[in-house]
Amino acid sequence: MVLRELTALELGGAIKRGQVSIVEATQAALDSLAARDGALNAFLTVTGEQALERAEQLQAGLKDAQSPLYGVPMAIKDNICTQGVKTSCASKILGDFVPPYSAAVVEKLAQAGAVSLGKLNMDEFAMGSTSETSFYGPVRNPWDLDRAPGGSSGGAAAAVAALMGWYAIGSDTGGSIRQPASFCGVTGIKPTYGTVSRYGLIAYASSLDQIGPLCRDAADCAAVLDVLMGHDPHDATSLPGLRDDWSGSGPRVDYGHLLDGLTGDVRGMRIGLPTDCFGDGLDREVRAAVLSAAEVLKGRGAEIVELSFPVLPYAVPAYYIIACAEASSNLSRFDGVKYGWRAQEYDGLTDLYRKTRTQGFGAEVKRRILLGTFVLSSGYYDAYYKKALQAKAVIKAAFDQAFQQCELLLTPVAPTTAPRLGESLSDPLKMYLSDVYTVSVNLAGLPALSMPCGFDGKGLPIGAQLIGPHFGEGAILNAAHAFQLDTDYHKRRASLQTPDGHGGPACPKAQNQSAGAQCAPLQEAGEPS
């Protein structure tokens, strides 16, 4: 049994049956991480010693385990608070921040028996689409080390694709789970806004941020979401609706049965293809792969219908106005006074603020703070922010209308496959436009999933996006599961090489590793675990 090749559910089953111990699984993950992350820079902090201690504790309680993911090693994006473990948001300004508490999702995972391997690299404060804006260096794509893994959850996607853990927890503000999942050939889902607690997530844009999993397949995503979803009184945006606490008011949501609902039966399901998502600007190989995915689902009994989604051009400008406005407010707390890094030389309080924020934030974060401050300023609020909110309402209404014609929508995740490192940073507008198929989902608060659906001529993964109505996670996951029963794209593994056949650079961030994994020579994907 090659442990790394198993899905999270398969590993959980092997642990439950006594075929492998939790300590053995954890050590296999740490060995893989030590061999591979020097080329990828996916991890910012590796908690190896803590993970092994946790594995021993969990092994002792195995007989009482309830979760199918009990004992399975995983990792967490570095904008999600972990008590006693550095949480930097990949930023200089939070470089030494160690939270005194854990996020709600971290607590839920701990209760389910998860083993955390550490914290994952990302775009600074989740602001980016390539995971290149990190203060600690860019993440590299396991399929081609000269390319970006997507962002902002690039470290999470790269870690799962490179078999350095069995799943990861990311966040999605405008596609930050789905786009890296697409670029790295893994499955990732952004759930309905409010169904997973944001308590302990360091906010980028509070009305758009949502936590979700990146996994090897749809079944693993369902199992992780079964753990994460539920009402949290600590989060004002958390939706009520759990069966055991529903009082009769508000939306009723039946959480906890996503895995059980994976039948693979999509007979009679109406899946819409928005024609506006398949026009100019979409790479022909991406178009062909997504349309081929539609044919696979049709072959399993789904009905494919074409429909119009004319509001698509409004999504990107509306998103970036709203997201930047909220970012300018959320990031005002990082001033060098309360916590975090501060400038060493300053003349008075105002100079402290100025120098701390100028030197502590990266270029992309400062760009978005300035954009947000501008659109909220006197004289421009109505011209930009108010209109963006109106556009958001129109986009939501367009989705409501679309779901009167079909149960799910199928679209590309991104216009192209993974770009080369440096391409997007040199052209911010190009980077923003790469989110054209994903940001509308966040504006409407809908669930959406990215699943591998093919490869381009360069061997890079292509992702297809399934979008559902509010609380449509079950239908989305079942459709993805049905697709994966008939295809093997999600089972193919990256080689961790450049196109010329060479491995990546030496470990660039070994100093950030807290314990456990150290840099080692890169090994091939087929090595024994």
Q: What tens digit of pLDDT does each residue of 466-476 get?
A: 999 999 999 99
Q: Is the pLDDT of residue 524 over 80?
A: no
- What is the set of active-site residues? 77, 152, 176
Low-confidence winner among 315-319, 350-354, 448-452, 515-519 (lowest mean pLDDT): 515-519
pTM of the model: 0.93
Q: Which residue has the higher pLDDT, 191 or 425?
A: 191
CATH code of domain 3-266+449-502: 3.90.1300.10
Closest of 365, 370, 344, 367 to residue 355, by C-alpha? 344
Average pLDDT for residues 72-82, to the nearest whole number? 98
pLDDT the model gives residue 509: 41
* Alpha carbon separation from 230 to 171, 225, 240, 242, 319 (Å, rounded): 16, 9, 8, 6, 26
pLDDT the model gives residue 251: 53
Cβ 195 vs Cβ 474: under 8 Å: no
CA 259, CA 218: separation in Å to the nearest integer?
Answer: 9
pLDDT the model gives residue 365: 98
Cβ 163 vs Cβ 394: under 8 Å: no
| pLDDT band (50, 70, 90) for residue 510 | very low
Q: What is the pLDDT of residues 28-40, one digit of tens each?
A: 999 999 999 999 9
CA 102, CA 25: separation in Å to the nearest integer?
Answer: 24
Average pLDDT for residues 260-281, to the nearest whole number? 96
Average pLDDT for residues 218-231, to the nearest whole number? 97
Average pLDDT for residues 244-248, to the nearest whole number? 44
Q: Is the pLDDT of residue 416 over 80?
A: yes
Q: Is the pLDDT of residue 448 over 80?
A: yes
Average pLDDT for residues 41-56, to the nearest whole number? 98
Average pLDDT for residues 293-299, to the nearest whole number? 98
Average pLDDT for residues 136-157, to the nearest whole number? 98
Q: Is the pLDDT of residue 404 over 60?
A: yes
| pLDDT band (50, 70, 90) for residue 255 | low
pLDDT the model gives residue 173: 98
CA 370, CA 131: separation in Å to the nearest integer?
Answer: 21
Q: Is the pLDDT of residue 515 over 80?
A: no
Q: Considering the chain, what is the average pLDDT of its residues?
A: 92
Q: Is the pLDDT of residue 385 over 90?
A: yes
Pairing between strand 187-190 and 448-455? antiparallel
Residue with tokens 């992309």: 364
pLDDT the model gives residue 519: 33
